[in-house]
């Protein structure tokens, strides 16, 4: 493996999450944690019931400070689910949020190999290894800040578009409401009385 | 509705459509095409003088053809803006010799036959998609005779008939003899909950709409005999069960069973419904003066263009797909875009209003900050290596790279416009482009980690963040089981998958590689995955030339909603993996390793460029 | 204009003929197994 550590000593922390029984019901998280501990640059590997919980995040933050961690690998659910959570957590402990890597042990492993616990555990170890090797090469990134135009476009002038336009306009934003037909109103305008109030639609 | 018309901060652009968009969250640049109304919207007072003289009569779309209107018209009396419009397809007046009567009559001189469509450009920070739905056309369900029998109507036609502003001024009459019906039958789930015709999903609104309609009829004409034919009555919302019980208490009969056929009695034009009452198992016949088909809700047929404009996709039901079905139900996958109403799924008015307010609140969160940070996943070009060939600028879906092929100056990335697909990095023949957070070395490390031990047992899968990786997530959420041999490497877009990644995997002993991404229509980077396909096609040719079976490189487009497809593909490629022999893999490793040792045919061109970058 | 070309599915080995426009890149799926691993067989196409 390339040790491209960008000129610093790599200190990786790995956090294997049970997700209650969601992961630990299939994958042997103890074995995975032990395996992670033996991977290059891993300073500490720890196993938690719910890594995304407040105490779970607290453990990561504490370790970053105590062990001078400079990379964090969380082996839990899909990054599409909790990457923002853990990025924020490591940022609070002073690490650049891009120094986080996740291994998807839940959606891509425990939930889809329920009847093959041993194979699932082997796969989980691979996923953690992939994440650790990648984490070793991650770099700090700076996010670009852009100004936001304080105007909104609403496409469609039915009941939903009307409500959204009024809410935004009343909140103080300029709203452009684009409607295909010559009048707003949509399907709702064609309806006589509406449930549950049994009153007029327009 | 009128509140919108007079709100100082709402600019209403009716008779208009979004034609083009560029930009990104916080800074969308939207072009809106405004169709010519041929009537000055601001000056017209809707006095109606023009109506009296217009000689053209056409079916009225608002009343679903149950009445007529003129070529110059107002869609309905409460229309906003309160202004007329000329239907130019029907109007004779483009040529004043032919007609021009309304022009003569209009005292305020609002009418202008020469008005043309025009385009306006808007800069907005957020977009709310509230494009609504279409109503199911029951023509294909011929057994109900919608097109054959005049007294069979849809629930939306019924709304117009019973509306005091409608064509009959609210008198419920049946079309054949304009007589008030004494026996009315409703048929539920027309176009809904069917695997064969219409849509497989529940349209959400039709049960309660029928309950409401039954109450309206009973309210006006209590003697009317009403029968509702249904498979389930879904009255789950607040106050809904109460309305259902009220309807039953007023004598509306709910009969569990959908008619197999509706026939007309030619003499009386009455309708005979044949049905099995599934609570009793009895075959029955019921006579009705009028049959109302409770039609379902469909995705809008014109939503395709919007999908392309804002890089949106649809779930399997055809409605717009949200960023997360449970946790981000209002957000589109494209940041800064939100959904309200039926564009996302069938909804009643209350739910549409609720979601609209939620969408407004979500948009408010983004806009109130004034500034937002954009993910740092963008590409960076090394001017020392770049030869100025401009391939990157050519493949960039966002035109975010400036390059001049003539001058051969190093290409430059406009960071704020770069969406981070990584296609440029994959296509650069000189390795001059680094994709931040998805660098070559980072991805190669993942491949190496997969193949370090037991490579014969593993399948290397490249999956894009938005679709195929998410499809894998959905397979997980759905607990779909598949073989445990695949290892996924996530990239933002399949366009990032460099051909070198694939060759590297084969060199390291991978029996099988899968490249996966979004369906073409769903690509989150406009059309970046077209380059994925081209690259895979080139790789197939290359592998074949080298004596490697092209079948060992697989390609698949899997949407975020296609958990089933993801699991199926995983099962299929596992079968392909099993067919790959250790000898074959060793041979591949030998071929590709020798190839890699040979000097590359693309030496870094030390070319002279007008260097502006200050060097130390 | 669209011409005809031979395609082969690299998943199930099914071979078939379909319309093909060299100027357009299209999403293809095998009519037999539905896979997108569909390769255009170029030798055949060049005859057309």
Which residues face A200 on adjacent strands? Answer: A193
Q: How far is CA B251 from CA B215, B246, B254, B552, in A?
A: 10, 9, 9, 68
Nearest residue on chain B to A186, judged by CA atoms?
B132
Q: What is the rounded CA–CA span in Å between residue B385 and residue B394?
A: 18
Whole-number mean pLDDT of chain B? 92
User: So where are chain C's domains?
Assistant: 3-40
Give mean pLDDT, residues A75-91. 96
Report chain C residues touching chain B, CB-CB < 8 A. 10-11, 25-27, 33, 35-37, 39-40, 42
User: Is there a domain that residue B418 lies in?
Assistant: no
Domains of chain B: total: 4
Same domain, B562 and B449: yes
Q: Give residue A191's pLDDT band: very low, low, confident or very high (50, 70, 90).
A: confident
DSSP class per residue in A57-97: HHHHHHHHHHTT--EEEEEES-HHHHHHHHHHHHHHTT--G
Give mean pLDDT, residues A46-60. 97
Domain limits for position B56: 2-120
More confident residue, A4 or A66: A66
Give mean pLDDT, residues A62-72. 97
- pLDDT at residue B607 is higher than 50: no
By DSSP bridging, strand B261-264 and strand B16-24 are: unpaired
Task: Tally Cβ neighbours within 10 Å of residue B376.
Answer: 18
pLDDT in tens, B100-123: 889 889 999 999 988 999 999 999
User: Is there a domain that residue B309 lies in?
Assistant: yes
Please classify residue A96 by burial: count the beta carbons closer than 10 Å to its beta carbon, then call 0-12 exposed, 13-18 middle and 19+ buried: middle
pLDDT above 70 coverage of chain B, percent? 96
Nearest residue on chain B to C11, judged by CA atoms?
B551
Q: How many angstroms from the chain centroid is the CA of residue B94?
A: 37
- Which candidate, A20, A31, A19, places its Cα nearest to that of A102? A19
User: Is there a domain that residue B54 lies in?
Assistant: yes
Q: Contact C25/B530, CB-based, under 8 Å?
A: yes
Q: What is the rounded CA–CA span in Å between residue B528 and residue B540?
A: 19
Q: What is the ipTM of this complex?
A: 0.92
In chain B, what residues touch C10 (CB-CB under 8 Å)?
Answer: 540, 550-551, 553-555
Q: Give residue B94's pLDDT band: very low, low, confident or very high (50, 70, 90).
A: low
Q: Which of A164-168, B58-62, B407-411, C41-45 has the lowest mean pLDDT?
A: C41-45
Three-class HEC string of B24-78: ECCEEEEEEEECCCCECCCCCCCCCHHHHHCCCEEECCCCCCCCEEECEECCCCC
B575-B455-B491 Cα angle (round to 5): 85
CA distance A63 to chain B (A): 24
DSSP state for residue A108 in the 8-state scheme: I
By DSSP bridging, strand B379-381 and strand C38-41 are: unpaired
3-state secondary structure of C38: strand
CATH of the domain at B206: 3.50.50.60
In chain B, what residues touch C41 (CB-CB under 8 Å)?
Answer: none
Same domain, B202 and B177: yes
- Which candidate, B552, B425, B446, B550, places its Cα nearest to that of B498? B425
Same domain, B448 and B335: no
pTM of the model: 0.73
Check if the beta carbon of residue B527 is closer than 8 Å to that of residue B520: yes
Please classify residue B608 by burial: count the beta carbons closer than 10 Å to its beta carbon, then call 0-12 exposed, 13-18 middle and 19+ buried: exposed
pLDDT computed for residue B322 by the predictor: 86
Q: What is the rounded CA–CA span in Å between residue A107 and residue B400?
A: 34
User: Is there a domain that residue B398 lies in?
Assistant: no
Nearest residue on chain B to A134, judged by CA atoms?
B442
User: Is there a domain that residue B603 lies in?
Assistant: no
Nearest residue on chain B to A143, judged by CA atoms?
B376
Q: Do chains A and C touch (3 or more CB pairs under 8 A)?
A: no
pLDDT computed for residue B304 by the predictor: 87
Q: Contact B572/C11, CB-based, under 8 Å?
A: yes
Q: Contact A108/B363, CB-based, under 8 Å?
A: no
Going by C-beta distance under 8 Å and a sequence separation of 6 or more, which residues neighbour residue B486?
B458, B459, B461, B514, B570, B573, B574
DSSP class per residue in B458-503: -EEEEEETTTHHHHHHHHHHTT----TTEEEEEES-GGG--HHHHH
Same domain, B91 and B212: no
Same domain, B443 and B554: yes
- Of B369, B398, B422, the residue that ends a domain is B369
pLDDT computed for residue B602 by the predictor: 52
Q: Contact A185/B10, CB-based, under 8 Å?
A: no
- pLDDT at residue A2 is higher than 70: no
Going by C-beta distance under 8 Å and a sequence separation of 6 or more, which residues neighbour residue B351?
B204
CA distance B495 to chain A (A): 19
Q: Give residue B486's pLDDT band: very low, low, confident or very high (50, 70, 90).
A: very high
pLDDT computed for residue C48 by the predictor: 36
User: Among partner residues B519, B521, B551, which is closest to C10 by beta-carbon distance?
Assistant: B551
The tokens for A164 are 């959204």
User: Among partner residues C25, C33, C35, which is closest to B534 by beta-carbon distance?
Assistant: C25
Q: What is the rounded CA–CA span in Å between residue A120 and residue B574?
A: 15
Same domain, B259 and B155: yes
pLDDT computed for residue C43 by the predictor: 66
More confident residue, C6 or B334: C6
User: Is there a domain that residue B402 lies in?
Assistant: no
Whole-number mean pLDDT of chain A? 94
Q: How far is CA B394 from CA B197, B388, B400, B427, in A?
A: 44, 12, 10, 10
Q: Touching C: which chains, 3+ CB pairs < 8 A?
A: B
Q: Which of A75-79, A85-89, B315-319, B433-437 has the lowest mean pLDDT?
A: B315-319
User: Is there a domain that residue B53 lies in?
Assistant: yes
pLDDT computed for residue B521 by the predictor: 77
Same domain, B255 and B340: no
User: Is there a domain that residue B458 lies in?
Assistant: yes
Same domain, B187 and B281: yes
- Of B250, B268, B298, the residue that ends a domain is B298
Angle between helices B499-507 and B528-546 (to 10 degrees): 40
Q: Contact B537/C40, CB-based, under 8 Å?
A: yes
Q: What is the rounded CA–CA span in Å between residue C19 and residue B297?
A: 35
In chain C, what residues touch B519 (CB-CB under 8 Å)?
Answer: 27
DSSP state for residue A11 in the 8-state scheme: -
Same domain, B574 and B498: yes
Interior/surface letters B312-347, b for 16+ CB within 10 angstroms, e for the rest = bbbbeeebbbbbbeeeeebbbbbbbbbbbbbbbbbb
Give mean pLDDT, residues A12-39. 98
Q: What is the rounded CA–CA span in Å between residue A127 and residue B488?
A: 8
Helices (H), chain A: 29-37, 54-66, 79-92, 117-135, 159-170
By DSSP bridging, strand A100-104 and strand A144-147 are: unpaired
In chain C, what residues touch B572 (CB-CB under 8 Å)?
Answer: 11, 33, 35
DSSP class per residue in B176-240: TT-PPPSEEEEEEEETSS-SSSS-SS--SSHHHHHHHHHHHHHHH-TT-EEEEEES-----STTH
CA distance B215 to chain A (A): 9
Asked if the C-beta of B526 comes within 8 angstroms of chain C's C-beta atoms, the answer is: no
CA distance A62 to chain B (A): 25
Nearest residue on chain B to A174, judged by CA atoms?
B9
Which residues face B30 on adjacent strands? Answer: B21, B122
pLDDT computed for residue B599 by the predictor: 61
- Which candidate, B347, B554, B556, B395, places its Cα nearest to that of B467? B556
User: Among partner residues A78, A133, A178, which is closest to B17 by beta-carbon distance?
Assistant: A178
Q: Give residue B614's pLDDT band: very low, low, confident or very high (50, 70, 90).
A: very low
């Amino acid at each position: 493996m390339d040790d491209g550590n960008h000129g610093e000593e790599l200190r990786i922390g790995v956090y294997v999450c049970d997700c209650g029984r969601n992961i630990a019901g299939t994958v042997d998280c103890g074995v995975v944690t032990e395996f992670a501990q033996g991977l290059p640059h891993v300073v500490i590997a720890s196993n938690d019931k719910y890594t995304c919980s407040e105490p779970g995040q607290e453990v990561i933050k504490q370790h970053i400070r105590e062990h001078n961690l400079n990379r964090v690998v969380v082996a839990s659910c899909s990054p599409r689910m909790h990457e923002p959570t853990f990025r924020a957590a490591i940022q609070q402990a002073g690490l650049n949020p891009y120094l986080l890597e996740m291994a998807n042990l839940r959606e891509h492993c425990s939930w889809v190999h329920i009847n093959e616990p041993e194979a699932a555990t082997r796969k989980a170890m691979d996923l953690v290894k992939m994440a650790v090797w990648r984490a070793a090469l991650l770099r700090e990134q700076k996010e670009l800040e852009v100004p936001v135009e304080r105007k909104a476009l609403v496409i469609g002038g039915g009941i939903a578009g009307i409500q959204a336009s009024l809410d935004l306009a009343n909140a103080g934003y300029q709203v452009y409401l684009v409607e295909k037909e010559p009048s707003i109103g949509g399907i709702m305008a064609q309806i006589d009385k509406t449930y549950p109030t049994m009153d007029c639609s327009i | 509705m009128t509140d919108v018309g007079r709100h100082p901060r709402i600019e209403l652009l009716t008779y208009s459509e979004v034609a083009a968009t560029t930009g990104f969250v916080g800074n969308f640049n939207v072009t809106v095409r405004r169709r010519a109304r041929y009537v000055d919207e601001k000056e017209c007072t809707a006095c109606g003088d023009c109506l009296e003289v217009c000689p053209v009569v056409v079916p009225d779309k608002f009343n679903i053809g149950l009445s007529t209107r003129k070529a110059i018209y107002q869609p309905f009396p409460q229309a906003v803006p309160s202004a007329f419009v000329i239907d130019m397809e029907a109007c004779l007046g483009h040529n004043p010799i032919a007609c021009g009567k309304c022009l003569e009559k209009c005292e305020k001189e609002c009418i202008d036959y020469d008005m043309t469509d025009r385009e306006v450009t808007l800069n907005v920070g957020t977009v709310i998609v509230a494009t609504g739905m279409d109503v199911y056309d029951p023509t294909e369900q011929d057994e109900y005779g919608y097109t054959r029998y005049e007294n069979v109507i849809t629930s939306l036609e019924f709304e117009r008939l019973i509306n005091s502003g409608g064509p009959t001024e609210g008198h419920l009459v049946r079309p054949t003899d304009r007589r008030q019906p004494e026996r009315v039958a409703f048929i539920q789930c027309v176009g809904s909950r069917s695997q064969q015709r219409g849509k497989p999903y529940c349209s959400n609104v039709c049960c309660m709409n029928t309950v409401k309609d039954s109450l309206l009829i009973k309210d006006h004409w209590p003697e009317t005999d009403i029968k509702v034919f249904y498979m389930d009555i879904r009255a789950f919302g607040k106050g809904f069960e109460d309305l259902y019980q009220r309807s039953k208490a007023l004598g509306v009969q709910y009969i569990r069973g959908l008619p197999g056929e509706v026939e007309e009695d030619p003499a009386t034009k009455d309708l005979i419904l044949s049905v099995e009452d599934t609570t009793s198992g009895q075959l029955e016949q019921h006579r009705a003066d009028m049959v109302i088909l409770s039609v379902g809700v469909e995705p809008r047929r014109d939503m395709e263009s919007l999908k392309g404009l804002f890089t949106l996709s649809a779930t399997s039901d055809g409605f717009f797909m949200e960023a997360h079905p449970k946790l981000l139900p209002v957000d589109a996958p494209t940041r800064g875009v939100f959904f309200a109403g039926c564009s996302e799924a069938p909804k009643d008015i209350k739910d549409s209003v609720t979601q609209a307010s939620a969408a407004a609140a979500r948009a408010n969160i983004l806009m109130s900050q004034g500034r937002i940070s954009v993910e740092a996943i963008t590409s960076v070009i090394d001017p020392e290596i770049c030869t100025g060939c401009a391939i990157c600028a050519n493949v960039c879906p966002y035109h975010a790279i400036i390059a001049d092929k003539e001058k051969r100056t190093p290409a430059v990335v406009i960071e704020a416009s770069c969406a981070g697909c990584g296609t440029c990095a994959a296509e650069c023949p000189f390795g001059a482009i680094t994709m931040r957070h998805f660098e070559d070395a980072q991805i190669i490390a993942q491949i190496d980690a997969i193949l370090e031990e037991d490579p014969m047992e593993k399948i290397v899968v490249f999956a894009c963040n938005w679709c195929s990786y998410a499809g894998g997530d959905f397979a997980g959420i759905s607990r779909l089981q598949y073989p445990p041999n695949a290892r996924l490497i996530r990239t933002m877009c399949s366009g990032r998958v460099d051909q070198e990644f694939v060759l590297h995997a084969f060199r390291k002993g991978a029996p099988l590689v899968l490249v996966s991404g979004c369906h073409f229509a769903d690509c989150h980077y406009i059309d970046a995955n077209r380059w994925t396909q081209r690259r895979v096609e080139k790789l197939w040719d290359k592998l074949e030339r080298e004596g490697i079976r092209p079948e060992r490189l697989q390609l698949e487009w899997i949407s975020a909603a296609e958990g089933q497809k993801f699991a199926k593909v995983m099962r299929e490629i596992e079968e392909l993996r099993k067919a790959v022999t250790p000898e074959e893999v060793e041979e591949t490793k030998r071929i590709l390793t020798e190839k890699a040792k040979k000097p590359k045919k693309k030496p870094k061109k030390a070319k002279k460029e007008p260097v502006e970058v200050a060097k130390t | 204009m669209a011409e005809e070309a031979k395609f082969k599915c690299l998943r199930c080995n099914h071979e078939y003929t379909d319309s093909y426009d060299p100027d357009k890149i299209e999403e293809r799926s095998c009519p037999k197994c539905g896979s997108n691993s569909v390769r255009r067989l170029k030798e055949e196409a060049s005859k057309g």
